Amino acid sequence: MEQTLRRNPALRAWLLIAPAGLFLLIFFILPLFIVIIYGFLERGTYGGVVWQFTAENFSRVFDSLYFSTFLRSLYIAVLTTLFCILVGYPLAYFMTSRPPRQRNLLLLLLMIPFWTNFLIRTYAWLTLLRTNTGLINVTLMNLGIIKEPLPLFGNDFAIVLGLVYGWLPVAVLPMYASLDRLDRSLVEAARDLYASGGQVFRRVIWPLSLPGVVAGSMLVFIPSLGAFVTPAILGGGKSLMIGNVISNQFLAAHDWPFGSALSTLMMVIMLFATLLYFRSTALKAKEERA
Amino acid sequence: MPNTIAVELRDVVKAFGSVVAVDNLSLSIPDGEFFSLLGPSGCGKTTTLRMIAGFEMPTSGEIDIAGEAQGYRPAHRRPVNTVFQHYALFPHMTVYDNVAFGLQMQKVDKSAIARRVAESLDLVQLNGMDKRRPKQLSGGQQQRVALARALINRPKVLLLDEPLGALDLKLRKEMQVELKTLQQEVGITFIYVTHDQEEALTMSDRIAVMDQGRVQQLGVPEDIYERPVSRFVADFIGETNFLHCMVMQTAPRGEVELAGGIRVPVSWIREGISPGSQALLSLRPEKINLFELSDTYPTGPDSAVVHGHVERLVYVGTDTHHTIKLDNGATVIARVQNFHVEEEPWEIGEEVIVQWDAAHARVFRE
């Protein structure tokens, strides 16, 4: 057995990927195909599907109701991504400027929220933001700073806040990595060549950390676009995103085929976004090598 | 024309916490000089350079560049440019944009930039490379881009931080000559930091040998090599033999006693060493002459003579290193140039007369 393996590196490689490959095949690729196929079938009365081919589900996707929900989701995802960069980039920069020991501590602090269940963390925001009983509004009203409660809950603001909070660490990590790799002597070289602080940033730091920014953006944008828990809790049932529409199709409307069609479309869009990202970073890398 | 001063440091101290990197340093470097700061790592040479560049601010003391006090002026407002140890070329820019960077920052107009970039690339023999990226260039070419990028700004002073350290030996030797030629061509003051004593000796007009944040000796290369003033300098620059001795007299002429009661004349005894105290005699290996017992050898008041036996021979091409065990127990190494290949070499264990002139023997504190 051992001898066969030693003489056959291809077999060895296959053995190594077999567990993961098998797992992904059964629990990822197969269900994925089921979703895609369901999208082309007719709905059963109490959920499930009727094995009758139709393309109607996909044409319904472009119904103005769903399309506007999709646009809103896009808007929220873009806003979330933007804020994650605006808040995360300076944080990442600050972290790289610390001595190594402090850096590790900061990284640890950044990751701590991940040790708590995402659902619980989102509910925690609920107690802070709720309109009449939320901690923020109650405090501000008791202090007499405001008379009417602020609209902190059940709107896009709450959703974006919740998403930025949830995904910020994920955005910071790749930006931190690319800033950390940045050779500090390049900054000094630019300084030495008469560049002011702003010019150093625009001409050297930003372009060289851009791959990290792009990676961070993708890591935030994709899950934000498909977000489901955050809008369900912080959107107050009024402010919905495409993820909630999909879950409703399966759980409330018993329209599995339409839910599948929406899911398939989302997947295609995200796939394109990822491809675009890989192409842009690959291009950049190629340019640098060329 | 009177020599104006390009860079002047007065009582400069730099402390990082409780560590003093530069300890009360004063230097005066005239215009157009090729000046080297030479020393082992951690001696404060790079910190000194970084303070002149404006990357570090002195804890106390003052730095003048071209007669102007710099105070806390930041790097981008100083009339100096730096060639960094690993070049620090901008990887996302072409050679052209790298070289043009300084002029772009100073808002020089585009046509003037184009002309001066062409001139600069010409100066370092990189014509036609302007569209390449740093990664597509060899180490030597990157080095030249770094030089062009700094020199295009016509700085008052060019600061170089071990710029040849990353090159292989042959290329390094070529670049040494080229750098020196370039410096004479452009007439800019070069302040060159290196730990490579040969590099410093080859290129510099003057050298400051540094250790522990202080200048140990300042002088022209010949002074530094031939007339070291301390054990550290003699040891750090080139190779040397150290022999324990006791100082017998300092005036009218120096004389020391080696182990075994052998008295030898010396040309120089470090100030403050009084007769009767223990000291260290330093002697360069190439200043030692070896004679067979039957040979006639120089005698007289300025000649030191000790008997010994050949212990080991190491052939290194241009010369052979002879390890000699002296009769008093000490060991010296003598470098003898290989003039005549057909000559009979010394044999191990053969008795030998070791002779040197007092002029080459210098005495330091232990």
pLDDT tens profile A258-280: 999 999 988 998 888 888 877 87
What CA–CA distance (Å, rounded) separates B230 from B139?
37
The alpha carbon of residue A202 is apart from the nearest alpha carbon of chain B, in Å, by 12
d(CA B22, CA A249): 73
List the single residue in B81, B91, B133 with the smallest CB-CB distance to A192: B81
Conformational region of residue A125, where left means phi above 0, alpha means psi within -120 to 50, and beta covers everything else: alpha
Tell me B55's DSSP state: S
Q: What is the pLDDT averaged over residues B9-34?
A: 95
In a domain, A185, yes or no: yes
Interface mutation target, options B105, B131, B147, B153, chain A, most CBs of A under 10 Å: B105
Transcribe B195-213 into DSSP letters.
S-HHHHHHH-SEEEEEETT
Point out the residue among A183, A195, A288 whose CB comes nearest to the CB of B133: A288
Tokens of residue B177, six digits: 């000559």
Report if residue A15 sits inside a domain: no
CATH for A76: 1.10.3720.10
pLDDT given for residue B3 in this prediction = 66
* Domain carrying residue A156: 65-289
What phi-psi label fits residue A79: left (phi over 0), alpha (psi between -120 and 50 degrees) or beta?
alpha
pTM: 0.83
Of the pLDDT bands very low, low, confident and very high (cuts 50, 70, 90), residue B1 is very low
Domain for residue A224, yes or no?
yes
Res. B2: pLDDT tops 70: no
Chain A residues whose CB is inside 8 A of the B149 CB are 193
- Please indicate whether, in this complex, the C-beta atoms of A190 and B101 are within 8 angstroms of each other: yes
Put simply, whether B107 touches A (Cβ < 8 Å) is no
Q: How many CB atoms lie within 10 A of CB B294?
A: 6
How many Å lie between the alpha carbon of B73 and the closest alpha carbon of chain A? 12
Which of B76, B92, B133 shows the shortest C-beta gap to A194? B76
Give B148's DSSP letter.
Answer: H
How large a percentage of chain B has pLDDT more than 90?
84
Q: Mean pLDDT highest for which of A79-88, B172-181, B293-302, B338-347? A: A79-88
| Residue written as token pair 């001795």 | B245
Q: What pLDDT shows up at residue A251?
A: 87
| Higher per-residue pLDDT: B67 or A7 | B67
Tell me if A185 and B84 make a contact (CB, 8 A cut-off): yes
Contact with chain B for residue A283, Cβ under 8 A:
no
Taking the Cβ of residue B102 and every Cβ of chain A, the question of whether any pair is shorter than 8 Å is answered with yes
Closest CA to A259 of A66, A51, A52, A30: A66
Residue A38 forms part of a structural domain? no
Q: Does residue A54 fall inside a structural domain?
A: no
- Determine, yes or no, domain membership for A17: no
Of the candidates A191, A207, A288, which has its C-beta nearest B75's C-beta? A191
| Residue B135 contacts A, CB cutoff 8 Å | yes
A209 lies in a domain?
yes
What interface predicted TM-score (ipTM) does this complex get?
A: 0.84
pLDDT exceeds 70 at position B100: yes
Nearest CA in chain B to A184: B88
Task: Give me the residues paired with residue B27 across strands.
Answer: B9
In a domain, A58, yes or no: no
Number of domains in chain A: 1
- Pairing label, strands B254-258, B263-266: antiparallel
